[in-house]
Amino acid sequence: MNTITAALGTDRARRPRAALTVLLAAAAAVGAPFYFAPFQVFQLTMVLLYAVALAGLNLLVGFGGQISLGHGAFFAAGAYTAAVMLDRYDTGHLATLPAAAAGCFLLGLGFGVPALRLRGLYLALVTLSFAVFLPPLLKRLEPVTGGSMGLTVDKLQPPAWSGLAEDQWTYFVVLAVTVVALLLARNLLRSRVGRALLAVRDNESAAEVMGVRLSLHKTLAFAWSAMFAGVAGCLYTWVIGFVSPDSFSFVLSITLLAGLVVGGLASLYGPLLGAAFVMYVPSVSQDVSEAAPGVVFGLLIITVMFVAPTGLAGLPGRVLGAVSRRLPRTTAALDRTPEADSVPETDSVPEADSVPEAEPKSPAGSRPATTLTPADPAVVDAEPVGAPPRTEKE
Amino acid sequence: MRKTTALRAAAAATAALLTATACSSQRGQDDQSTTAGGACKGQQTTGITDKTIKLGGIYPLSGPASAYGTISKGVAAYFKYVNGKGGIDGRKVQFIVRDDGYQPPKAVEEARRLVEQEKVFAVFQTLGTPSTAAVWDYLNKQKVPQPFVATGASAWGTDDKHPWTIGWQPNYVAEARVYAKYLKDKKPKAKVAVLYQNDDFGKDLLGGFKKAVAGSGIKVVAEESYEVTDPSVSAQMASLSRSKADVLLDVTTPKFGSQALAADARNTKWNPLHIVNNVASSAAVLQPVGFKNVQGVVSATYFKDPADPQWAHDPEMKTYMNALHKYAPDADPANQFNAYGWAVASSLHKALDAMKCPTREGLRDAVRNLKDVKVGLLLPDVTLSTGHGDAFPLETMQLMRFKGERWQLFGKPVDTRKEFGPLTK
Amino acid sequence: MSAVTDLLQQVVEGLGSGAVYASLALALVLIHRFTGIVNFAQGELAMLSTYVAWQLVASGMPFWLALPVTLAVSFAGGMLVERIVIRPVQGAPELTVVIVTVGLFIFVNALAGLIWSFTVKDFPQPFPDGGLDLAGVRVDWSTLGIIGVVAVVMGVLYLLFQHTSIGLVMRAVACNPASARLSGIWVGRVLMLGWGLAATVGAVSGVLVAPVLFLEPNMMGGVLIYAFAAATLGGFDSPVGAVVGGLFVGVAETLTGAYVGVIGADLKVGVPLVIILAVLLVRPQGLFGRAAVERA
């Protein structure tokens, strides 16, 4: 938390630089579909779509400290909402987005209530069984969902005025939704809700003592998170144009969680990196070994976790940290930012840079999911800064 | 620090992107599609030249359905074998296999890769109903042939909006009809219990069976489903045994087939006639159960099981065995999926030979106009036939009964088209 | 057969599947007690051990000799996995370790497919064929055998946890590795021991269930989900809970699948979900788990 204040302090000085970054990133994002082949544009679209789901999961796992192995189910719910609306009621694509978002928000809210009682492991496994249960349920509701044959619906079609190809148009629509979703996630985190969430994750009791309404925030975290997954699912239907129950097996939920952790928990770029990993690495694995892509994919997951235990988003910080420690002290002092920049990461990151070779130094602070002990004084000290006022109302 | 890195990276990326766009956009590759001249004027010749033909296939090489991935090895071995003999009509086949892990979105990605990046002539085989259903709209829109998909759903033949897609193996409804006919002849008052996989495969077969026995004395008295993710079907088998049915129709995939056969053998109080569907009828499924436990089990087939000694001296089987040893040494020739791959690839060979124009359109029309085409690994009386209003290449199967250590074919091959009329939606 | 015998027969089937779930759940509980993590790869390691046993038997070794060899190999293998795969991420966020086990799951599954193919293998049945007939209810020897062995393993684990110094040591390690290290416990060794033991228990599970489920690389995938359910229901740190949870889940899903028409066999997987949710809402630590007392 104290790092946030540090970051805020220098915010003004950074603004032009940040604006330039954003501008360049935007230029790249807008230019991409005009440069890359349609197939690659499709891949980028899928990356964006998964990034939305991962950003939602990040709210819950990274910032809320609750593990969900059931987000594939919310993803499926969003996808099916869109598909059923398109298939049965012919509503047009745009109408499906708010419906999927609202539906999944409510679903998440419903799930968030029992989730309050559960923590860590137990929550993870209950959500996992939800994900296991959904495909047979979808098959059972055949009159609505099309049963195990699934539903084929229209993909997004570019309007004539745009002059764009189908893949480009789809890309831009998904890009727009993704940008809005990611900004929403960011603002959510900077708002009271986000600060409350962080406080709850870092030390539940302390947060409660300071007036954070635990149950409300934990339930809301679930609902927001489910909403993002639902939006991603809706985009999925737009892009793929086909849903079937077996596309949303529990493997999807586990893949999402793995993608998030590989990308980087509690990081703003993490979801994008994780989505790229989920999207590209399986194909790369096949290029390496056609006989058994799974062997390579499994190894790559393990390797990434070895190299970047806090996820890919934390990697540059770790590398720079390691480098600056080896360089003369002065250089490191000039570059005072590595810590400040790693704000969104788990608390133990700055001091645990050398995790792989060292024995655990702060075992407690780095466990967002399970019981937390106040072993890390920094966490407790930092609380007052970010904690919302007692009288907080939503 | 990271902001600076990000800034530099973004700047570099943008610069690279702009330069690249200015110089040569990758999008331009799109226009490289080629068309034929002469009699076949205007037809697409993408992926085919006088010397080569490029095909792509999408199979689950990873994930829960990887057992079927080995089909690609049978297919690849066939093409390598043909290339060794000079290729198909002088064209060497290049066969690109991609992995979709049995996930529809991945199948879409790989289909696009094959069509847009690899510029394949045809997507020869997508495996599984979900993956096939996910890509057929795209492929038909792109006018890329999708011949002989590796799934028996009846949708591929009854649909009229996707002329570029066609199935190969006898569809599940046709298979159900074979069993229905057998029961009508032999056990007209049969009470049938059904164990089926809760997906398109199980539902299609069960639905086809119910329709085929409608109005006869045969009744389905109990049905139990299982999910592919279930560990075992023993509970379902216990439920079915309560029905006291005298026939058990076992619509399962290999592992569950073994489990069901074993559960049936264990239960000495209930001894129905066990009909196991073709997918789970390989000797490789029966052998782990113990041959003594599967005597008298009935199934139907259309191609020669490589694990079955009766085909050991069949010339095509010998060719297959030798070629597999040579070109796919890590694949088990006795695995029926490899033989399936070989058979479907040789069927495509016949279709390519029959093309009037060496174009995508030519292939599309050729696979829909097959007249009693014989394929070596298919049973002697089973041939490929399609035509106007009939988009099911294989609709004939022959019944077989397990005796001693092997299947014995019995009765005449059942042409379900003749017996039941054409299949409609 | 009367309705009552029918019912009892279904209960027996349920106990049979329940024992299968319980056998793997015991390994999950064991590793959780030692290391505090959920091991997604536990089932796949068990499957790999089973292939080792199969390979030994297939190459001519008698089953009863192959079994102890397999258990020894699994123990060593489990320790090796901890040393090579888990140690490097020790101290990283807990989820990182969990995802490493997911990677291990994918790796081992594909590796087994690469080596032994996906064709179903026949695994020797250690128990005699046939079974008991108790007033019209058929109980296979194999079901009884699985339940018996699971009970023995449960007993051993219970003794290990409650009545040996190892039990105390590993509880300390699982709770707080740093403090454990400070009090002179060789944490690395304890964790290796945990992985080794869990792999051994997993191997027992794999060898037990392989004759029933038939050996192929995805054999344990489905079991893992149910074993999770069993362990969650019973409480993740209690061997007794794992077994009771497993049997309960097995019986409950079988009965509802068979008798509640609305649910049927396709939705029976939802039954454990509902039960678990209901139980956890009352007892968040599971039926037999100990509530984590936290110092906040």
Q: Please report the domains of chain B, with CATH numbers, ordered by start residue.
A: 43-170+302-394 (3.40.50.2300), 173-301 (3.40.50.2300)
Of A297, A363, A370, the CB nearest to C178: A363
Please tell me the predicted confidence (pLDDT) of residue A202: 80
Mean pLDDT for C58-66 is 92
Task: Please tell me if residue C187 touches chain A, with a CB cutoff of 8 Å.
Answer: yes
Note which residues in 115-174 of chain C have CB less than 8 A from chain A.
none
| Beta carbons of C13 and B238 less than 8 Å apart | yes
Q: Tell me: pLDDT of A190 over 90.
A: no
Q: How many Å apart are CA A297 and CA C107, to the nearest integer? A: 7
Please tell me the predicted confidence (pLDDT) of residue B15: 56
Please tell me the predicted confidence (pLDDT) of residue A346: 40
Q: To 5 degrees, how large is the angle CA B302–CA B292–CA C222?
A: 75
Please tell me the predicted confidence (pLDDT) of residue A150: 87
Highest mean pLDDT among A323-332, B380-389, C170-179, C257-266: B380-389
Please tell me the predicted confidence (pLDDT) of residue A360: 38
B317-321, C87-91, C97-101: least confident range = C87-91
User: What residues in B contact A40, CB-CB < 8 Å?
Assistant: 26
- CA A108 distance to own-chain centroid: 15
Q: C148 or C283: which carries more pLDDT confidence?
A: C148
Please tell me the predicted confidence (pLDDT) of residue C155: 93
Q: How many Å apart are CA A45 and CA A41, to the nearest integer? A: 6
Q: Tell me: pLDDT of C244 over 80.
A: yes
Please tell me the predicted confidence (pLDDT) of residue C69: 96
| DSSP of A273-317 | HHHHHHHHHHHHHHHH-SS-HHHHHHHHHHHHHHH-TT-GGGHHH
Q: Which residues of chain B have pLDDT under 70?
A: 1-32, 425
Amino acid letter, residue B399? L
Per-residue pLDDT tens digits for B320-342:
999 999 999 988 888 889 999 99
A47 near A272, Cβ under 8 Å? Answer: yes
Q: Domains (ranges, CATH) in chain A? A: 2-312 (1.10.3470)
Please report how the helices C3-35 and C165-175 are oriented relative to each other, as an axis angle in degrees rounded to 10: 70
Of C104, C280, C295, the CB nearest to A126: C280
Note which residues in 91-150 of chain A have CB less than 8 A from chain B.
132, 135-136, 139, 147-150
Q: How many Å apart are CA C211 and CA C140, to the nearest integer? A: 12
Per-residue pLDDT tens digits for C75-85:
999 999 999 99
Please tell me the predicted confidence (pLDDT) of residue C170: 78
- Percent of chain A exceeding pLDDT 90 equals 32
Q: Tell me: pLDDT of A234 over 80.
A: yes
Q: At which residue do the structure tokens 């390989």 appear? A: B282
Phi, psi of A372 (to 5 degrees): -110, 140
Minimum CA–CA partner of C258 in chain B: B239
- CA C212 distance to own-chain centroid: 15
| Beta carbons of A309 and C93 less than 8 Å apart | yes
Minimum CA–CA partner of B116 in chain A: A39
What's the Cα-to-Cα distance from A130 to each of A99, A136, A229, A249, C220, rounded to whole Å?
A: 21, 11, 15, 10, 19
* pLDDT category of residue C296 using cuts at 50, 70 and 90: very low
Please tell me the predicted confidence (pLDDT) of residue B29: 52
Give the three-class secondary structure for A389. coil
Mean pLDDT for A281-298 is 89
Q: Tell me: pLDDT of A394 over 50.
A: no
Please tell me the predicted confidence (pLDDT) of residue A338: 40
B355 near B369, Cβ under 8 Å? Answer: no
Per-residue pLDDT tens digits for A97-150:
999 999 999 999 988 888 877 777 888 888 888 898 899 999 988 888 888 888
Q: A354 or A103: which carries more pLDDT confidence?
A: A103
Q: How many Å apart are CA A229 and CA A338, to the nearest integer? A: 31
Of A37, A246, A317, the CB nearest to B130: A246
A320-329, A342-351, B19-28, C124-133: least confident range = A342-351
Please tell me the predicted confidence (pLDDT) of residue B308: 82
Residues 6+ positions from B326 with CB-CB distance below 8 Å: B77, B81
Please tell me the predicted confidence (pLDDT) of residue A362: 39
